Structure 1
Amino acid sequence: MPSGNSPSSPFTPRDFQLVLLRRMADHNPDLVEDARHTLGASIADMREANKRWQAMIRSPRARAAASRYRSVLGTPESVITRKVGDLECEAWLWPLPLWPDLRFEVLLAPNGAVWNEWLIRAPGAEGPSLTTLDDLTPWSCTVDEAARAFAPARPLEGTAPTRWGLAFTAPDGQGVRWKCVAEFTWGLLQRVAVGDRATGGE
């Protein structure tokens, strides 16, 4: 399949999925390779898509983030009102073929600025059953799903703008609870680091 990824060609939803994969490749290269083949894309295609995306973001003539997503992904599949504190915000949702049960969500502040951009479970789609550490496999869940399943979870600052972290305790298959730190890229679980055994109310 031709890449269609020359600098002069339109930046497409396929290219955007390659951008998401490029950020995930550090943690899960095998999953990324399979997904890349699904898109019919080479490693060079993925690198070029990411290079073009970064250039779009950093250009002095860059359009606002919300407009950029509309130009790349088209009209949102749905627009949902979300409450963030006392504010009502718009959430724009788009489907991405690589993750049919998820949606890419862009959360807009009342002034139109983009507050957040990540993958969430599609409205109405059944989420994963998360009860033990064994359920926390790469790409199995979103930030919100892990936070709800293993509440109380503490948000952690990510190592890059598209990365998030959560600290929580979770049981293993024998019911022993462990301190965990989960890492997410674009809202999707990438890996879980298991630390010391949790004690008391931890």
Structure 2
Amino acid sequence: MPERRPTTPFTPLDFQLVLLRRMADHQPDLVEDARHTLGVSIADMREANRRWQAMLRAPRQRSAASRYRSVLGTPESAQERRIGDLVCEALRWPVPLWPTLRFEVLVTGNGAAWNEWLVRAPGAAAPEPTTLDDLAPWSCTVDEVARAFAPARPLEGTAPTRWGLAFTAPDASGVRQRCAAEFTWGLLQRVAVRGPAPGPAA
């Protein structure tokens, strides 16, 4: 029997549920609060994720650029960006659940996605963390943590939508600690402290 096709379109609300579904592994309480804010059930979140995965695995799947445009509409902005020898188009869409963030997709010439994550919106006040206490879940993006505690070293993520950073940062007493931060869709989820870093206190 052929698979029954959904009768309702996949909406920006559904896409936000996809983002939350991945974040629930690390921050279930924050996801629960967000789910209530959006007025949706756990079943709604699971169904949105199921439909998203079906789109990704469809035999005749569309390009990433086309897929995001069909779900999120016309991008708020589209700019050329060069990363080394690679020339991409950076497409950005607003995410109502996080008003100061944008969902950014870097698209190559053939429409494939080179990167997909949340970034700070242009003109929005960005956090400036200086100690570990400032690194609350969902407070920073990958770029913001990397800049604040440079030099940061990328770590391999545990899933396609996850990133990691290794860096050193002072704790509340000024002792520099070796840290590993985990991000989902580019948004900070948690920080693991692995012990004091060599060298003098900050």
TM-score with structure 2 setting the length: 0.94
Name the structure 1 match of 2:181.
182
Structure 1: tracts of 5 or more residues without a match: 1-5
- Give the partner amino acid of 2:135: L
**Alpha-carbon deviation of 1:38?**
1.1
What does residue range 102-181 of structure 1 map to in structure 2 within 5 Å? Answer: 102-181=101-180
- Identity score, percent: 79
Q: Report the equivalent of 2:56.
A: 57
CA distance in 1, matches of 2:128, 2:143: 13
C-alpha deviations, 1:19-78, integer Å up to 9, x for none? 000000011111101111111100000000000000000010211111100000000001
Shift of 1:200: 2.7
1:79 alignment partner, SS class = strand
3-state secondary structure, aligned to 1:94: strand
Shift of 1:8: 2.2
SS in 1 for 2:25: coil
RMSD over equivalenced CA pairs, Å: 1.3
Deviation at 1:149, TM superposition (A): 0.3
Q: Secondary structure at the match of 1:37?
A: helix
Corresponding residue number in structure 1 for 2:83: 84
Task: Verify the 8 A CA contact 1:121 1:127 in the aligned structure 2.
Answer: yes
TM-score by length of 1: 0.94
Query: Which residues of structure 2 form unaligned runs of 5+?
Result: none
Q: Contact 1:106–1:117 (CA<8 Å) still a contact in 2?
A: yes
Asked if the contact 1:19/1:46 (under 8 Å) is kept, the reply is yes
- Residue-pair matches, total: 196
User: Is the 1:101–1:122 Cα contact (8 Å) retained in structure 2?
Assistant: yes
